[in-house]
Amino acid sequence: MAQDSLLSDELLRHLMAVGQVDILVGVPTLDNASTIGGVVRAVHQAFATYFPRDRAVLVNSDGGSRDGTPGLVKDYSLDEAGTVTVSHSLRTMHRISAPYHGLPGKGSALRQILTAADLVQARAVAVLDADVASVTPERVAALIRPVKDHQFDYVAPVYARHPLDGPLVTQLVRPLIRGAYGWQVREPLAAEFGCSGRFLSHCLEQDIWESDVAKYGIDLWVTGAALSAGFRCCEAPLGPRVTTAAHARLGFQDVFQQVVGAAFLVLEQHAPYWLPRQQSEPLALVGTPTSEAGEPPTVDASRLTQTFCSDLQNLQSVLEPILSANTLSRLNAIAEGDCGQLRYPDDLWVRTVWEFLAAFHRGVMRRDHITQALIPLYLGRTGSFLIQYAQAAPADVEAALEAVGLEFERSKPSLVECWNQASPR
Amino acid sequence: MNALPAAGASLPDPLWYKDAVIYQLHVKTFADSNGDGIGDFKGLTAKLDYLHDLGVTCLWLLPMYPSPFRDDGYDIADYCTIHPSYGTLDDFRAFLDGAHARGLRVVTELVLNHTSDQHAWFKQARSSRDNPRRDWYVWSESDDRYAGVRIIFLDTERSNWAWDPESKSYYWHRFFSHQPDLNYDNPAVRDEMWNVMKFWLELGVDGFRVDAVPYLIEREHTSCENLPETHEVIRFLRAKLNEHFTGRMLLAEANQPPELVRPYFGEGDEFHMAFHFPLMTRMFMALRLEDRKPLVEIVERTPEIPETCQWGIFLRNHDELTLEMVTDIEREYMYEEYARDPTSRINLGIRRRLAPLLDGDRRRIELMNGILMSMPGSPIIYYGDEIGMGDNIYLGDRNGVRTPMQWSGGWNAGFSSADPERLAQPLISNALYGYQAINVESQKRADHSLLNWMRRLIAVRTSSRVFSRGSTTFLKPANHRVLAYLRTLGAEQVLIVCNLSSSAQAVELDLGRLAGALPIEMFGKSLFPRIGELPYILTLGPYDFFWFKLRRL
C-alpha cells in the first residue's frame, strides 16, 4: 500500500466486505478509551432499535490513540449492546476501526469517514464526537432520521444548555454565521452532525482537505459548506451535551485562535455566497426539543473584564490597523470606566467583529496576530454580558442573544462595504 | 431400483428419515386417472417413475381421507379409509407397493388434534350429553374457559369456543369452528388414535406427519400449547409404535421456535422428526436482506437433538409461508418484501409458492434450493416447486398453492382428461407460470431446465450423508452477503459458500485450519486452488453458490 493512500488496504478490505449501506456512523477518535464504549453501545442500540431493517456500519477513524481506543472499538462485545431485547436488528451490524493517514487533526479523520461513506454509497451519515459522554441511541437516530426520512442534506445539532453556557458560540460564532450566511444555526461549531450521501460527495470534491481549515476548523467548514451550496439544512435537538474532563486538550487561547481563524477562513471562502444575502432565516427543526436547560456556567466575569481593560491599553498599536478609529475610540472609552461593571454594547461588539473579519480578509498583518488580538475584546464582551445577565431568567438571556444576532444582521451592509473595498492579502 | 422390503419386514436402516429427501404432494391435484377432474391414487401410481427419477426418497401425502373439505382434507370425517374421489384402499395398497418397489417411503397425514364436525364421533358426541362419545371432545357451558389463549386463524375465527345448538353448549376448537378438538384427557381417545395409526402402519405406511401437535391438551391459566400432558400423549403413541413396528417415523408439525420444538423430540422417545419452521422464514429473510445474519442466528439458536432425530426443513408447503413466530419488525419486513399485494396475505403469513415469491428468478430459486439441500435436516420439496410452478392468490384460503400439477402444455396440463370446469382446482394459466410455459414435459426435454437442475442437486445431496448427518460450522467471513459453512461427518468435509446478494461478491474465508485440503466443486467436479494458510479468496456471481468437497490429496 502506498503510504499516502487515503484508505489503507485493510480498511478497503473491510469496506468491501460491508458493501453498500444505508447508514454510516463515523466516530473520529484520539485517546477516547474512557468514552468510546458508551458511544459504540449507543450506535449499536440505535441501529437495532431505530433502523433494524437498514444496512448499517460504524466507522472509527483514529488519530493514533495510545490508550487502546481502536482495540476497544474492535473488541466491543455486541452482547453488551444486546440489552435491546424488544427490538432487534435484522441485519449484520458492522464495526470498523482504522487509523487515518495525512495531516494530523480532525479534518483527516473526517475525510476518511466521508470517503468510506462515499465508497459504500451511504444514504445517511452521522458523525459523532467521541468526547461526548452523553451519546444515546436517540441522539444517533436524531442525526440520521432527518436525512433518511425527510431528505435533508445536513443536520446540525441543537444542544439543551443554559443560554449563558458556551460564550464563544453564543457571542461570536453563532451570530457571526447568522449575520453573514443569513441562516440561524445554533451550533455551527458542533463536532456532531448528520448528512446525506449527496452532501458528503460535494464535501469530498472541495479542495480544502490539506489546508488549515481541515486541520483546525473542519466542523465549521462543513456547516458553511452546507449553507453556502444550496443543500437542505435542518437542526435536530440532541439533549444536553456532556463531555469528559479529559476533553480539554488545548488551552483557551489556542482554542480561540483556531476557532476564530477557521471561522474567518471559512467566511472568506464562502464570501461569494453570503455577501449578497440579507437578514436571516431559521433552519427547520426536526425532532422534539427537551426542556432541560442545564446549569449556568460559574465564571468570574470581573476577571474577564479586567483582562480586557489591561490588555486594551497594551494592544493599541496592534488594534489601530485592524479597527476603525471610531470603534477603537469607543472601546477605549468603555475601558476607562469601572472595569468591574464594564458595559460592552451589542453594536460595538458587532462592529468589532466585522472589522476584525475585514482586517483578516485584507491581511493587514499576520492573520494569527489578528485573531490573537481579538481575544481580550472577546473576554471583555463576554464578561460584560455575564455581569449584565448573570441573574437573568434564561428567557431574558435568550432574548439578549437574539438581539446580538439581529445586530449582526442589521450592521452587515457596513461589513459588505468594507469587504468590497478591501483587496485580499 | 432400490426396492424396500415388504411391509412389516425389518428395514435396512431404521434411521432412513435422517437421509430422506421428502416430496410433499396432494393426491387430489397430482394426477387424475379416471377423468373426473380429481387426482387419485391410480394417477399418482402412474407418476411414481417421475418421482423416482427426480431422486426424492420419501413421499408425504396430504390428507386422503373422507372429508367435507372445508379445510382441504384436514377436517377428517373418517380416519380409516380413503376418500372415494381418490380411489379405494386397494388403490392405495397398489400405490404403496409401487412406491416401495422404487425405494420410496410413504408418509401420510395424522390429524390428532381435531376431527371434522362431520365425523361420526362428533355427531354422536353432540347428539346427547349422555352419549359415550360426549367426552371425546372438549365441552363447556360457557365460552370463558381458557381465557387468553390465542386464536390461530385470526382471519376467520373470533373465539376458540363455538356454540353447538344441538347440545346447547360450547365446544373447543383451536382451528376452524368446524374442526372440534379431541379430548386427549380421555384415555379412550388416545387408544382409538393408536388404533388409527396401527391400521395404516399395518398397511405398510412408513410414517405420519402429525398435524397441529402443540394443542392436544387444554389447561386453565396456560397458553394451552406445548403442555407437559401433551408430551405424555405423544410418548404414549410413540411407545405403542416402538412396541409394534420398526423403521417407522413420526414427524411433528409444531409451528414454534426451535427451543420450544426441541421437547417434542423428548429423549428420543417422542417424535423422530419435527419441522423447522423458523429456518424457512429466516432463509427468505436472509435472501431479501442480502445478509446471512437471520439464517446463521436461527441455526445457531437451534438446540441439539437426540442422535436418532432429525429436523424437517423446507422452503414452501401447502400452507401459507407462516410469519406467526417472527417479531413484528420481521413480519412487517416480510410482508413488504414478499407480499406487497394484500391479497397474498392470509392469517399471519403469505400464500404463495416458491417461484412467485422469488419473482421467478431462476438464480434465486437455485440458491434457495442449494441452501435448503445443504442445511442440517431432511429437505422437503413441495410438489410443482421442482419445475417452478406458480400460484393463484385469488383462490380462497390457501387453495392458490394447491392447483393441479403441470405435467404438460396440453389439455388440462396433462393432469386430467376432464372438462376444465370439473377440475378440483383451476389450473394456473397466466403467461408467466401457466402450464403452457411451466410443465414437466418441456422441462424434461431441456437439459438446463429447473427440473433437470433439481435432479442433479438432489443427486449430489443424496451422494453423501455429510449433508444429512454432518455437523454444521459457520465461517462468518467479514462480507455478510456471503453465507459459508462447513458440514463435517467423520473425515468427510464439505464447504458451502453462497452469495445472498444480487451483485457479484468477493469473500476471504479463513480456512487456515483446513490448510492442505483440495476443494473439488461437487456439481462439475472442478478442482479449485489448494487451501493454504492465507485467507482463501473466492468471487461469486449474483446468487452464486459452491459446494466443495474437501479432499486430502
Tell me the shortest Cα–Cα distance from A242 to chain B, in angstroms: 33
Given this model, what pLDDT does residue B520 score? Answer: 96
Closest residue of chain A to B296, computed from CA coordinates: A92
Tell me the shortest Cα–Cα distance from A5 to chain B, in angstroms: 22
Domain boundaries, chain A: 3-285, 301-419
Residues B392 and B474 in one domain: no
Q: In this complex, do B479 and A87 lie within 8 Å of one another by their Cβ atoms?
A: no
Given this model, what pLDDT does residue A41 score? Answer: 93
Q: In this complex, do B333 and A91 lie within 8 Å of one another by their Cβ atoms?
A: no
What pLDDT band is residue B4 in, cutting at 50, 70 and 90?
A: low
Please report, for the domain that includes residue B523, its CATH number: 2.60.40.1180
Given this model, what pLDDT does residue A86 score? Answer: 42
For residue B349, being part of any structural domain is answered with no
For residue B337, being part of any structural domain is answered with no
Given this model, what pLDDT does residue B8 score? Answer: 46
Given this model, what pLDDT does residue A79 score? Answer: 58
Which of A17, A87, A92 is nearest residue B293 as measured by Cβ atoms? A92
Given this model, what pLDDT does residue A1 score? Answer: 38
Q: In this complex, do A90 and B477 lie within 8 Å of one another by their Cβ atoms?
A: no
Region B105-120: mean pLDDT is: 97
For residues B18 and B309, give the distance between their C-alpha atoms in angstroms, rounded to a whole number.
Answer: 7
Closest residue of chain B to A96, computed from CA coordinates: B478
Catalytic site residues of B? 211, 253
Q: Which portions of chain A are predicted below pLDDT 70?
A: 1-4, 78-87, 245-250, 422-425
Cβ-based neighbours of B153, under 8 Å, separated by 6 or more: B175, B176, B347
Tell me the shortest Cα–Cα distance from A39 to chain B, in angstroms: 22
CB neighbours (10 Å) of residue B121?
A: 20
Report the candidate in A145, A152, A139 with the shortest Cα–Cα distance to residue A51.
A145
Which residue segment(s) compose the domain that B411 sits in? 1-110+364-461
Residues B379 and B416 in one domain: yes
Residues B385 and B416 in one domain: yes
Residues B481 and B437 in one domain: no
Given this model, what pLDDT does residue A3 score? Answer: 42
For residue B523, being part of any structural domain is answered with yes
Please report, for the domain that includes residue B436, its CATH number: 3.20.20.80
pLDDT for residue B350 is more than 50 = yes
For residues B315 and B284, give the distance between their C-alpha atoms in angstroms, rounded to a whole number.
Answer: 8
Under CATH, what is the fold of the domain A3-285? Spore Coat Polysaccharide Biosynthesis Protein SpsA; Chain A (3.90.550)
Domain boundary among B427, B461, B495: B461
Closest residue of chain B to A10, computed from CA coordinates: B478
pLDDT tens digits, A45-61: 999 999 999 999 999 99
B478 touches chain A (CB under 8 A): yes
Tell me the shortest Cα–Cα distance from B272 to chain A, in angstroms: 32
How much is the mean pLDDT over chain B? 95
Report the candidate in B86, B503, B520 with the shortest Cα–Cα distance to residue A16.
B503
Give the count of domains, chain B. Answer: 4
Residues B49 and B136 in one domain: no
For residue B355, being part of any structural domain is answered with no
Cα A139 from chain centre: 16
Residues B21 and B94 in one domain: yes
What pLDDT band is residue B9 in, cutting at 50, 70 and 90?
A: very low
pLDDT for residue B145 is more than 90 = yes
For residue B357, being part of any structural domain is answered with no
Residues B145 and B224 in one domain: no
Closest residue of chain A to B331, computed from CA coordinates: A90
Given this model, what pLDDT does residue A215 score? Answer: 85
Q: In this complex, do A53 and B481 lie within 8 Å of one another by their Cβ atoms?
A: no
What is the Cβ-side half-sphere exposure of residue B66, based on CA atoms within 13 angstroms?
Answer: 12
What is the Cβ-side half-sphere exposure of residue B340, based on CA atoms within 13 angstroms?
Answer: 4
Least confident span in A88-102, B28-42, B397-411: A88-102
Report the candidate in B19, B29, B86, B25 with the shortest Cα–Cα distance to residue B51.
B25
Tell me the shortest Cα–Cα distance from B199 to chain A, in angstroms: 47
Angle separating helix axes A252-269 and A174-181, nearest 10 degrees: 10
- How many residues are present in chain A? 425
Residues B204 and B135 in one domain: no
Given this model, what pLDDT does residue A78 score? Answer: 63
Given this model, what pLDDT does residue A106 score? Answer: 86
Domain boundary among B428, B461, B494: B461
Given this model, what pLDDT does residue B196 score? Answer: 98
Which of B291, B327, B505 is nearest residue A92 as measured by Cβ atoms? B291
- Residue of A20, A90, A94, A120 to mutate when probing chain B, most B C-beta within 10 A: A90
Helix (H, G, I), strand (E, B) or coil at B487: strand
For residues A388 and A152, give the distance between their C-alpha atoms in angstroms, rounded to a whole number.
Answer: 39
Least confident span in A368-377, A416-425, B109-118, B162-171: A416-425
Residues B26 and B88 in one domain: yes
Region B500-524: mean pLDDT is: 95
Residues of chain B contacting residue A17, judged by C-beta atoms under 8 Å apart: 477-480, 507-508
pLDDT tens digits, A198-243: 999 999 999 999 888 888 899 999 999 999 999 999 999 999 888 8
Given this model, what pLDDT does residue A248 score? Answer: 56
For residues B419 and B411, give the distance between their C-alpha atoms in angstroms, rounded to a whole number.
Answer: 9
Which of B330, B480, B508 is nearest residue A92 as measured by Cβ atoms? B480
Q: In this complex, do A19 and B501 lie within 8 Å of one another by their Cβ atoms?
A: yes
For residue B330, being part of any structural domain is answered with no
Please report, for the domain that includes residue B130, its CATH number: 3.90.400.10
For residue B401, being part of any structural domain is answered with yes
Please name the helix (run of DSSP H) or strand (run of DSSP E) that holds residue B256, with its range, or none: none
Residues B250 and B269 in one domain: yes
Closest residue of chain A to B289, computed from CA coordinates: A91
CB neighbours (10 Å) of residue A1?
A: 11
Question: What ipTM describes this predicted complex?
Answer: 0.74
Residue A77 buriedness (CB in 10 A; 0-12 / 13-18 / 19+)? exposed
Q: In this complex, do B330 and A90 lie within 8 Å of one another by their Cβ atoms?
A: yes
What pLDDT band is residue B10 in, cutting at 50, 70 and 90?
A: very low
For residue B429, being part of any structural domain is answered with yes
B481 touches chain A (CB under 8 A): yes
Is pTM beyond 0.90? Reply is no
Residues B55 and B102 in one domain: yes
Which of B327, B478, B479 is nearest residue A88 as measured by Cβ atoms? B327
B477 touches chain A (CB under 8 A): yes
What pLDDT band is residue B3 in, cutting at 50, 70 and 90?
A: low
Q: In this complex, do B480 and A53 lie within 8 Å of one another by their Cβ atoms?
A: no
Residues B292 and B377 in one domain: no
Contact criterion met (CB below 8 Å) for B520 and B527: yes
Q: In this complex, do A53 and B291 lie within 8 Å of one another by their Cβ atoms?
A: no
Least confident span in A181-195, B246-260, B322-336, B477-491: B322-336
